[in-house]
Structure 1
Amino acid sequence: MLGDQIDRRRRELGLSQRELAQKSGLSPQYISYLISGKRGQRLSVTAATGLAKALRVSKKFLQGESTYVDSPSEKSVTGAS
């Protein structure tokens, strides 16, 4: 479920829901709705882009098409190439 993926990754990064909202450019209420499942499973391109960047994951991860973190920003943070 999308909300579970977002919440799990948020916790891995040590972010509060408010911090995730700030980093993603989304409202804290929207983040809460996503995590609780009240918002559904579909994200706008803008929301997906903001969340992917804030969570340092690919958009495919958010779509459930990938089970690992593979965004370029994560690679640059960890030093992987």
Structure 2
Amino acid sequence: MFIIPSLFEPCGLTQELNNALKRAFDYYTRNPENWRKLVQNIMRLDFSWDSSAQQYEELYEKAVIKARAAANLA
């Protein structure tokens, strides 16, 4: 069970969040060794602001390159 602070959620987001939590708990209880490996692997990932900013900058640069290329074709 989880509590959502709204009266109405028509898009199914809360149901999907509930389903994701059920799958996670199921995996945790049925595959404890794999769960530990999963946690260790995820903890190695870099979710810092620096990393996020770098990824955003790279994505933005790609978008600019594509936009310029499309403008040159027009």
TM-score interval, normalised by the smaller of the two chains: under 0.3
User: Which protein shows a greater Rg?
Assistant: 2
The two structures have a TM-score, normalised by structure 1, of 0.25
The two structures have a TM-score, normalised by structure 2, of 0.26
Looking at secondary structure, tell me which structure has more helix per residue.
Answer: 2
